[in-house]
Amino acid sequence: SVIIVKRLISISSELDLEYKFIQQDLIVAKQVQENLFPGKLSIKGIRYEVMRIAPNHIGGDFFDFVQLREGNTGIFLTDVAGHGIASALVASMVKIMVSTMPYILKVHPSRLMDYIDDSLHKQFQSYHASAIYMFLDFISREVTFSNAGHPYLIHGSFSKEFHEVETEGAILGFGIKKPIAEQVKFPLVEKDRFFLYTDGLIENKNREGKLLGTEGLLEILNANRFEKDLSTFKANVQKTVEDFFGNVALEDDTLFLIVEVE
Protein backbone atom coordinates (compact mmCIF):
# COMPACT_ATOMS: atom_id res chain seq x y z
CA SER A 1 0.00 0.00 0.00
CA VAL A 2 0.95 3.68 -0.25
CA ILE A 3 1.39 3.90 3.53
CA ILE A 4 3.91 1.03 3.54
CA VAL A 5 5.84 2.56 0.64
CA LYS A 6 5.97 5.94 2.40
CA ARG A 7 7.18 4.24 5.58
CA LEU A 8 9.90 2.39 3.68
CA ILE A 9 11.00 5.63 2.04
CA SER A 10 11.13 7.29 5.47
CA ILE A 11 13.21 4.43 6.91
CA SER A 12 15.54 4.55 3.91
CA SER A 13 16.06 8.28 4.39
CA GLU A 14 16.80 7.78 8.08
CA LEU A 15 19.34 5.06 7.27
CA ASP A 16 20.99 7.26 4.65
CA LEU A 17 21.30 10.06 7.20
CA GLU A 18 22.70 7.68 9.83
CA TYR A 19 25.19 6.33 7.28
CA LYS A 20 26.36 9.88 6.53
CA PHE A 21 26.89 10.51 10.25
CA ILE A 22 28.89 7.28 10.56
CA GLN A 23 31.02 8.23 7.55
CA GLN A 24 31.68 11.64 9.08
CA ASP A 25 32.71 9.99 12.36
CA LEU A 26 35.09 7.69 10.47
CA ILE A 27 36.66 10.65 8.67
CA VAL A 28 37.24 12.37 12.02
CA ALA A 29 38.63 9.14 13.54
CA LYS A 30 41.03 8.63 10.63
CA GLN A 31 42.21 12.21 11.08
CA VAL A 32 42.77 11.53 14.78
CA GLN A 33 44.80 8.46 13.84
CA GLU A 34 46.87 10.35 11.26
CA ASN A 35 47.62 13.07 13.80
CA LEU A 36 49.27 10.46 16.02
CA PHE A 37 52.18 10.19 13.61
CA PRO A 38 54.91 12.82 13.33
CA GLY A 39 55.69 14.41 10.01
CA LYS A 40 59.07 13.70 8.48
CA LEU A 41 61.58 15.17 10.93
CA SER A 42 65.28 15.90 10.88
CA ILE A 43 66.60 14.60 14.19
CA LYS A 44 70.16 15.10 15.34
CA GLY A 45 72.11 11.86 15.71
CA ILE A 46 69.80 9.52 13.81
CA ARG A 47 68.24 8.77 10.47
CA TYR A 48 64.99 6.84 10.22
CA GLU A 49 62.56 5.21 7.82
CA VAL A 50 58.94 4.14 8.38
CA MET A 51 56.53 1.67 6.80
CA ARG A 52 52.80 1.61 7.51
CA ILE A 53 50.18 -0.72 6.08
CA ALA A 54 46.84 0.33 7.54
CA PRO A 55 43.71 -1.82 7.04
CA ASN A 56 40.37 -0.12 6.43
CA HIS A 57 39.55 -0.04 10.14
CA ILE A 58 40.83 2.49 12.67
CA GLY A 59 43.63 1.27 14.92
CA GLY A 60 45.76 2.34 17.88
CA ASP A 61 49.31 1.89 16.58
CA PHE A 62 51.62 4.88 16.50
CA PHE A 63 55.16 6.08 17.12
CA ASP A 64 56.61 9.43 18.12
CA PHE A 65 59.92 11.13 18.77
CA VAL A 66 60.59 12.98 22.02
CA GLN A 67 63.23 15.64 21.47
CA LEU A 68 65.11 16.26 24.71
CA ARG A 69 67.79 18.53 26.12
CA GLU A 70 71.37 18.50 24.82
CA GLY A 71 70.23 17.03 21.51
CA ASN A 72 69.16 13.71 23.02
CA THR A 73 66.12 11.85 21.72
CA GLY A 74 63.40 9.52 22.95
CA ILE A 75 61.60 7.10 20.64
CA PHE A 76 58.18 5.79 21.64
CA LEU A 77 56.16 3.15 19.80
CA THR A 78 52.92 1.62 21.05
CA ASP A 79 50.00 -0.59 20.07
CA VAL A 80 46.72 0.06 21.89
CA ALA A 81 44.62 -3.11 21.99
CA GLY A 82 41.56 -3.30 19.80
CA HIS A 83 40.31 -1.36 16.80
CA GLY A 84 37.93 1.48 16.19
CA ILE A 85 37.49 5.08 17.17
CA ALA A 86 37.93 4.39 20.90
CA SER A 87 41.35 2.76 20.38
CA ALA A 88 42.50 5.73 18.30
CA LEU A 89 41.32 8.15 20.98
CA VAL A 90 43.08 6.20 23.74
CA ALA A 91 46.23 6.19 21.60
CA SER A 92 45.98 9.97 21.23
CA MET A 93 45.75 10.26 25.03
CA VAL A 94 48.88 8.11 25.38
CA LYS A 95 50.66 10.43 22.94
CA ILE A 96 49.69 13.41 25.10
CA MET A 97 50.87 11.58 28.25
CA VAL A 98 54.30 11.00 26.74
CA SER A 99 54.72 14.54 25.45
CA THR A 100 53.60 16.24 28.68
CA MET A 101 55.08 13.98 31.37
CA PRO A 102 57.93 15.28 33.57
CA TYR A 103 61.37 15.40 31.94
CA ILE A 104 62.87 12.99 34.48
CA LEU A 105 60.55 10.23 33.23
CA LYS A 106 61.52 10.81 29.60
CA VAL A 107 65.13 9.87 30.36
CA HIS A 108 64.17 6.82 32.49
CA PRO A 109 62.22 4.41 30.23
CA SER A 110 61.13 2.08 33.04
CA ARG A 111 59.64 4.94 35.06
CA LEU A 112 57.97 6.29 31.91
CA MET A 113 56.28 2.92 31.43
CA ASP A 114 55.11 2.89 35.07
CA TYR A 115 53.57 6.33 34.56
CA ILE A 116 51.64 5.22 31.47
CA ASP A 117 50.58 1.99 33.19
CA ASP A 118 49.11 3.92 36.13
CA SER A 119 47.41 6.48 33.90
CA LEU A 120 45.80 3.88 31.63
CA HIS A 121 44.65 1.84 34.61
CA LYS A 122 43.03 4.83 36.31
CA GLN A 123 41.47 6.45 33.24
CA PHE A 124 40.80 3.61 30.77
CA GLN A 125 40.53 0.36 32.72
CA SER A 126 39.17 -1.59 29.76
CA TYR A 127 41.99 -0.51 27.42
CA HIS A 128 45.53 -1.84 27.44
CA ALA A 129 48.63 -1.32 25.35
CA SER A 130 52.06 -2.70 24.62
CA ALA A 131 54.88 -0.22 24.14
CA ILE A 132 58.60 0.26 23.73
CA TYR A 133 60.54 3.39 24.65
CA MET A 134 64.17 4.15 23.87
CA PHE A 135 66.24 7.01 25.29
CA LEU A 136 69.20 7.82 23.05
CA ASP A 137 71.89 9.71 24.97
CA PHE A 138 74.37 11.15 22.48
CA ILE A 139 76.52 12.64 25.24
CA SER A 140 77.30 9.35 26.98
CA ARG A 141 76.74 7.40 23.73
CA GLU A 142 74.31 4.99 25.39
CA VAL A 143 70.82 3.76 24.60
CA THR A 144 68.46 2.92 27.46
CA PHE A 145 65.14 1.26 26.78
CA SER A 146 62.20 -0.59 28.29
CA ASN A 147 59.71 -2.91 26.64
CA ALA A 148 56.21 -3.34 28.11
CA GLY A 149 54.73 -6.47 26.57
CA HIS A 150 55.73 -5.42 23.05
CA PRO A 151 57.52 -7.42 20.33
CA TYR A 152 61.23 -7.42 21.17
CA LEU A 153 63.47 -4.65 19.91
CA ILE A 154 65.62 -5.87 17.00
CA HIS A 155 69.23 -4.64 16.84
CA GLY A 156 71.87 -5.10 14.16
CA SER A 157 74.13 -3.41 11.65
CA PHE A 158 76.24 -3.89 8.55
CA SER A 159 78.82 -5.73 10.66
CA LYS A 160 76.59 -7.79 12.96
CA GLU A 161 73.45 -9.84 12.40
CA PHE A 162 70.07 -8.54 13.42
CA HIS A 163 68.84 -10.18 16.61
CA GLU A 164 66.12 -9.72 19.20
CA VAL A 165 67.01 -7.97 22.45
CA GLU A 166 64.98 -10.03 24.92
CA THR A 167 63.73 -8.10 27.94
CA GLU A 168 61.01 -8.55 30.55
CA GLY A 169 57.92 -6.37 30.63
CA ALA A 170 54.14 -6.64 31.05
CA ILE A 171 51.24 -5.12 29.13
CA LEU A 172 50.36 -1.56 30.18
CA GLY A 173 47.05 -0.71 31.82
CA PHE A 174 46.56 -3.43 34.42
CA GLY A 175 48.33 -1.56 37.23
CA ILE A 176 49.51 -4.79 38.86
CA LYS A 177 53.31 -4.76 39.15
CA LYS A 178 56.08 -2.21 39.45
CA PRO A 179 58.34 -1.78 37.67
CA ILE A 180 56.15 -2.80 34.75
CA ALA A 181 59.23 -3.30 32.55
CA GLU A 182 62.92 -3.77 33.18
CA GLN A 183 65.36 -1.13 31.96
CA VAL A 184 68.27 -2.15 29.74
CA LYS A 185 71.29 -0.12 28.66
CA PHE A 186 74.00 -0.70 26.06
CA PRO A 187 76.44 1.37 23.94
CA LEU A 188 75.16 3.59 21.14
CA VAL A 189 77.38 2.70 18.18
CA GLU A 190 77.61 4.59 14.90
CA LYS A 191 75.73 2.89 12.03
CA ASP A 192 73.87 0.55 14.38
CA ARG A 193 70.27 0.01 13.34
CA PHE A 194 67.22 -0.55 15.54
CA PHE A 195 64.04 -2.11 14.21
CA LEU A 196 60.81 -1.41 16.12
CA TYR A 197 57.47 -2.75 14.96
CA THR A 198 53.93 -3.68 15.94
CA ASP A 199 52.75 -7.28 16.06
CA GLY A 200 50.67 -7.01 12.89
CA LEU A 201 53.91 -7.42 10.95
CA ILE A 202 54.47 -10.94 12.24
CA GLU A 203 50.89 -12.01 13.09
CA ASN A 204 48.94 -11.11 9.94
CA LYS A 205 48.42 -14.07 7.60
CA ASN A 206 49.09 -14.12 3.88
CA ARG A 207 46.82 -15.71 1.27
CA GLU A 208 48.18 -19.18 2.11
CA GLY A 209 47.37 -18.66 5.79
CA LYS A 210 51.04 -18.37 6.76
CA LEU A 211 52.50 -15.98 9.32
CA LEU A 212 55.70 -14.08 8.62
CA GLY A 213 56.73 -14.68 12.22
CA THR A 214 59.82 -13.42 14.01
CA GLU A 215 62.13 -15.87 12.23
CA GLY A 216 60.85 -14.75 8.84
CA LEU A 217 61.32 -11.10 9.79
CA LEU A 218 64.89 -11.66 11.00
CA GLU A 219 65.64 -13.57 7.81
CA ILE A 220 64.47 -10.58 5.72
CA LEU A 221 66.50 -8.10 7.77
CA ASN A 222 69.67 -10.16 7.67
CA ALA A 223 69.32 -10.81 3.94
CA ASN A 224 69.51 -7.04 3.45
CA ARG A 225 71.85 -5.96 6.24
CA PHE A 226 74.81 -5.32 3.92
CA GLU A 227 72.87 -2.51 2.24
CA LYS A 228 74.51 0.62 3.62
CA ASP A 229 71.95 3.12 2.34
CA LEU A 230 69.09 3.24 4.85
CA SER A 231 66.42 4.25 2.33
CA THR A 232 67.34 1.35 0.05
CA PHE A 233 67.49 -1.02 3.02
CA LYS A 234 63.98 0.02 4.06
CA ALA A 235 62.67 -0.24 0.48
CA ASN A 236 64.07 -3.76 0.13
CA VAL A 237 62.57 -4.87 3.44
CA GLN A 238 59.22 -3.30 2.61
CA LYS A 239 59.05 -4.93 -0.83
CA THR A 240 59.80 -8.36 0.63
CA VAL A 241 57.14 -7.87 3.31
CA GLU A 242 54.57 -6.69 0.76
CA ASP A 243 55.42 -9.59 -1.56
CA PHE A 244 54.85 -11.98 1.35
CA PHE A 245 51.38 -10.61 2.11
CA GLY A 246 50.43 -10.07 -1.53
CA ASN A 247 47.07 -8.34 -1.98
CA VAL A 248 45.40 -10.01 1.00
CA ALA A 249 43.38 -7.70 3.26
CA LEU A 250 45.31 -7.46 6.54
CA GLU A 251 43.41 -7.88 9.80
CA ASP A 252 45.74 -5.75 11.91
CA ASP A 253 47.77 -2.58 11.46
CA THR A 254 51.32 -3.17 10.29
CA LEU A 255 53.96 -0.64 11.28
CA PHE A 256 57.73 -0.69 11.44
CA LEU A 257 60.34 1.94 12.22
CA ILE A 258 64.03 1.60 11.35
CA VAL A 259 66.44 3.90 13.19
CA GLU A 260 70.10 4.27 12.24
CA VAL A 261 72.65 5.90 14.55
CA GLU A 262 74.82 8.56 12.95
Task: Say what the pLDDT of residue 253 is.
Answer: 75
Residues 31-57: tens digit of each pLDDT? 666 666 777 788 989 999 999 876 556
Task: Say what the pLDDT of residue 12 is.
Answer: 64
How crowded is residue 10: how many other Cβ atoms within 10 Å of its Cβ? 10
Query: What does the radius of gyration of the chain's CA atoms come to, in whole angstroms?
Result: 21
Q: What one-letter code names the amino acid at 221?
A: L
Q: Structural domains in the chain? A: 36-261 (3.60.40.10)
How crowded is residue 109: how many other Cβ atoms within 10 Å of its Cβ? 30
Residues 83-142: tens digit of each pLDDT? 777 788 888 889 999 999 999 999 999 999 999 999 999 988 888 999 999 999 999 999
